[in-house]
Structure formats: C-alpha cells, structure tokens
Amino acid sequence: MAETLEVEIVFDDPEGGKFLTWKVQEKSLVCPGNTLFTFLKGSQVIPFKCNKYGVVKERYPIEPNEQLEVGRLIVKLGKCEHAVTMFGMCADCGTDLTSIEEGSSTPLSRASVPMIHGVPELLVTPEVALYHAEEDSKNLLSQKKLALLVDLDLTLIHTSETTDDSDALDVYHYQMEGPNSPWYHTRLRPYARYFLKKINEYFELHIITHGNRKYAEKVVKMLDPNNVLFGDRILSRDECFDPNMKAPNLKALFPGGDDLVCIIDDREDVWNYAENVVRVRPYRFFKHTDDFNAATLAELGNIIETELAKNVAGDEADAGKDEVKLWLEKADEVPTDNDPDNYLVYLFFLLRRIHETFYNVRKLTGNPKKTLSLKTVMNTLRENVFKNLRFVFTGLVPADQAITDSIFYYRSKQFGAVVQKEVVVHDGDEELPTTHLIAGKLDTEKVARARKSGSVIIVSPAWFWTCVERWCRVPEKDYQLFFEDYKMTGRQSSTEADNYLINVDCISRKLADEHMATLSSSANEEEEDLRNGNKRKCALEELSKFRSKFRRFESSDSSEDDDDDDDDDSDIDSEDEEIGREIEGLLWENSDENL
C-alpha cells in the first residue's frame, strides 16, 4: 500500500446535495471505496466514497442539511501511524513493517509496548498504551478495585520434580511435554482457591511467574478451573524481558504507572525491593525442593526464611483471632495431611486492609483526579506496625557484623521501629528507653540488663517476624521470655484494644490530610504557572504588536533619503520604546529562555 501523506478530500458531485451524517471518526483508517459520509441528492441518500488511503486527521465542520457544493473541503487525510502491529505487520493498514525506510535507520512504526500478557508480538505505540492504561485505571476506580500481581511458586503453590509424598492428597501429578517427559508434582497452598475467590472481590488479579507458558497455564487451571479470575492476564517467563527479574515488566504491564498495583511474592529482590510488594511467607510442602522456577535465592531471603521457620505454625493469638476463625469456617476447602499452613488467611486480611485504606483516603479527599499512590498507603501501613517502638537485638547478629548491615535493622526501619545498640533503661539526652529486646540467646549481658530493668519486654525473634509477615503488632505474651519479669512490671504489650496504630480509619485520615495538602500545593503551583503563562502570552502579544509597528516605521524609513532619517525616526514615540523594554523585561521574568 502506498503511503498517503497529507491530502484533502473535497466534494466533487456537480449536482451538489445536503449533508446527512458522518460515517468515519477522526483517527480512523480509510481505504478507497470506504464511505466518508452520506448526503441527500433530491430524494436519494448517496454515500460519498473515499478515493485515497490514509488516516482521518481532521473532519471539517459541516452542519446537518448543509448544502454541499463542488470543492467543499470534507476531510484531511494523513499517513497511517502504524499504532498497532502484530508480527511486524500494521494491524490498521496491513503494511509490512519488518523493513525500514530506504536510507534511514528509523523504524516505520513506534509500536513497542506489548498490550496482552500472553501475546508479546502484539505491540502498540506508547500513546495507545497510555490511553488504554488510563481507561483501565478509570475502570478499576469505578469498580472500587485495585490490581494485584500474584506470584505462583512458593506463594500459592509448591512444585517439585521429585517427591516423597506421591500418595499425598491435593498434589497434582502431570507431564508437560508428553509421555516421555519428566513428571512434575504441584501442591496448592491451603486455602489457595478460596483466597483467590475472596480477594478477587477487591482486586483485579494478574499472574506473573518465572515458569514457562505451559507451566503457568497448567497451574492456573488448578487454581482457577473455570477461568473466571485471571482471564488472559498471565505473564510467564516466555514473555518476561529478563528471565531473572520481574521489575522490568511493570512498565509494559502498566504503562500509566503502578499507582494502583499491589504485588504479592515470596521474593522482593526480583522486584528491586519495590514499595508496593508484600513479601509473603514462602510455602514449602516437598522436602529438598526450593523455588522450582527461580534462580538461587538471595541471601537476604534465606535469612528471613530461617527466622520465619521459628514461628509457631498455625498461631491465631493476634488481634484478629475471631475474624480469622470465621474466615476459616467459611472456606470451602479443608487442608489435608494436617498441613498447618494458614498464612493465606492473614494475607487476605492484610490485602483487604490495604484496599480499604486506599479507598477510605479517596473518599475523605473527595475522589480527586490525581489519586494517591498505593505505595504511599502501603508504606504508611508498614511504618505503623512498630511505630514508637525501640528495639535492641541480641544473639542474632554475628559479632563481626554491624547491626545496621543486618536484615533485622532493615526490617525494623521498614516497619517503623528505632534500633538501638544497647538497652536504654532511663530517658537520656539522646535516646528514649528501649521497649523490646529481641533475643536469640538468653545468656547475654543485654538480656541481664533488660531483666534487671523490669521495663523492657523480652521476646523471641518469632514475635518480630510474625509482626513483619502480617503487618500488625501481634501480642507479645505468646512469644515472651521471662514472663514472670513481665508480670512484675505491669507493662502493657500489644492487644486488640491498643492496635490503633494500624487502625484503618486512623491511618486513612492521616493519609487523606497529607494528600489534600499535596493536592493543594500542586494546585497552587499550577495556578501560579497559569498566571505566569497568561502574563507571558499577553507580553508576547504586546511585543509582537510593538515589533510590527517598529518594522512599519523601519520599512517606511528605508524608502526615504538618508537626509530625512532623523525626521522619520522621530515618528517612533519614545513611550513605545519604553513599553517595548517593559514587555521584554516581563518576558524575562516569566521564562527561562531568551526571546
């Protein structure tokens, strides 16, 4: 197809007629023979056919029943922008785009963003991607939903190539490549299907996995047999930009930004430790098998998992015990083999709290167009878990390692605590008293000092990691060491009543106030920019008039004899010169560029 540059289509029927209705929209592709509009000639409705290829850049204004004469401008056509391509071919005009223009290294199309997870060959331009992203965001907000990226391995399932539990219930056995290919064994995490069913009420679900496409589709069939939760929103290793990282795919998945996106994964490193990641407790059912599809786990992850293993499995002694019990009773799937893992129950309530806080803030701020980023909400919820708490660690960090280089320090700061090097008993000039000593050993000087103080709560590392994985301060009593010391002090630990630090309403109001202040500041800046822009526009108009006037005098001056120069120059009023200088000064004040 020959490329159409900019051409204008005119009405060419010598008998004329009355315009009826348009049959094309601006930005639509037209080919020879397509109807642009219909008109009435006598009593007959006639289609006006196009005789060119191109994209409708502009429809010239024509009123219904307006009389059309020969030569009347109808539309302006331009060349196809190849905004959507498939396998190197334009989806609009059919042009083969695998070649490049002669003598140029510039591709024929700017389509570079994959729009459908499982079809990486379907590409669109950044503008088209942004348009659809904005529409998707509007759709999510209208439904009061957010987007949730869900990892598979060690988050919702555990897969192994070898298993000692071949007869265990709820384990799927399958081959990927036919009868002679290896067998795989996949166990669903307890409550996985019910978790997805319930969380789908609050989030639009997407799968992202480092497993290949066949593996991903196989597992999704186990989790969502009726294909009602994920649709085609499945991104596998085959479509990932980087086989070891997931973060690079975020921009392609959400071209408009990830302000409405939450991620659940057992690894943060593959997301570059993004603020909108909820790191889940890894699920392992088969012995001697780690993440089936992942590269070697980061050292950071290994340390965390070692500590999480110390947690009391199935513990429900936190502030939401009754709600958790009710959730478990309603679940339509019962764990088999006495599998004690119930982490997805707590993950559900955490995600629901994130969702509730986000939409509470929107409601309190009047649903502004510039919505609050989910990262801000998640950071605030995280920081409130250990807010106003001061930790000292003992028996957990090697002697040759600084506490500031440890995972304990990183998590403490991330969740809002202050980390102290030594136990502080009384108010000092620089530090407040220590609230918690987290002890890996009992025979240390720090433990002795904390016990002697009678005011420092001494807990096991399991308390710390349970709080971190659930994003709430669970009661210390189930993890407390030397409980008799604690009872003597009368010091209060966390209970359901004092969990106000993570109270959704409290945090929502705080975030709403901060967001309104930000919006107000942005509005003031925009208003100031608008005022400056208007000043500049007026100044440019005045300067243009002044220069035109100057050129007229200059032109008339050049037609006179040199002897008359002084007389002609006197026609330029000195007041005009002063106005010109003032205008140029105003322009300098409101622009970073020279005129």
Query: Max alpha carbon distance in the chain (Å)?
Result: 114
Strand 261-265 versus strand 146-150 pairing type: parallel
The yes-or-no answer to whether 144-378 and 384-502 have a common fold is: yes
pLDDT at 214: 92
Sign of the CA dihedral with 463 first, then 466, 468, and 474 last: negative
Each residue's pLDDT tens digit in the chain (595 positions)? 444 468 889 999 999 999 999 999 887 888 889 999 999 998 899 999 998 888 888 999 999 999 999 999 999 998 777 888 888 788 777 777 776 544 445 556 777 788 777 787 788 888 888 888 899 999 999 999 999 999 999 999 999 988 666 667 778 999 988 888 899 999 999 999 999 999 999 999 999 999 999 999 999 999 999 999 999 899 998 888 888 899 998 888 898 899 999 999 999 999 999 999 999 999 998 876 666 565 433 433 443 344 334 333 334 344 456 666 666 667 666 555 667 889 999 999 999 999 999 999 988 888 777 778 999 999 999 999 999 999 999 999 998 999 999 999 999 999 999 999 999 998 766 789 999 999 999 999 999 999 999 899 999 999 999 999 999 999 998 899 875 554 444 444 554 434 433 466 777 777 777 777 776 766 666 566 565 656 555 655 555 554 555 444 444 444 444 444 444 444 444 544 554 455 445 444 444 444 3
Q: Which CATH superfamily is domain 144-378 in?
A: HAD superfamily/HAD-like (3.40.50.1000)
SS3 assignment, position 159: strand
CA within 13 Å, CB half, 577: 7
Q: What integer pLDDT is reported at residue 526 of this predicted model? A: 59
CATH no., domain 384-502: 3.40.50.10190
The CA distances from residue 59 to 51, 63, 216, in Å, are 16, 12, 47
Residue 278 CA to residue 471 CA, distance in Å, equals 9
In 3D, which of 337, 286, 341 has the Cα closest to residue 308?
A: 341
Q: 119-124 and 113-116: which strand pairing?
A: antiparallel
**Which residues face 393 on adjacent strands?**
438
Q: How many CB atoms lie within 10 A of CB 398?
A: 8
Per-position DSSP letters for 98-131, written without gaps between them: SSB-TT--SBS----EEEETTEEEEEE-HHHHHH
**How many CB atoms neighbour CB 215 within 10 A?**
23
**CA-closest candidate to residue 529, choices 456, 453, 591:** 591
Hunting for tokens 């071209």 — which residue is that? 255
How far apart (Å, rounded) are the C-alpha atoms in residues 440 and 460? 7
CA distance 364 to 362: 6
Rounded to whole angstroms, the Cα distance separating 53 from 70 reads: 21
Q: Which CATH architecture has domain 7-78?
A: Beta Barrel (2.40)
User: What DSSP designation does 403 have?
Assistant: G
Q: What is the reported pLDDT for 293? A: 60
Backbone angles phi, psi at 218, to 5 degrees: -65, -45
Distance CA 124, CA 122 (A): 7
The type of residue at 512 is: A
Token pair belonging to 221: 């069939």
Residue 456: its pLDDT value, please?
A: 94
Q: Give 103: exposed, middle or buried? Use CB within 10 Å, 0-12, 13-18, 19+.
A: exposed
**DSSP state string for 20-37:** EEE---TT-EE-TT-EEE
The pLDDT of residue 190 is 92
Q: Which residues contact 152 (CB under 8 A, 6 or more apart)?
A: 207, 209, 211, 216, 219
Q: Please state whether the predicted TM-score (pTM) of the whole model is above 0.85.
A: no
Domain locations along the chain: 7-78, 84-128, 144-378, 384-502, 530-589
Tell which residue, 447, 457, 466, has the closest CA to residue 493: 457
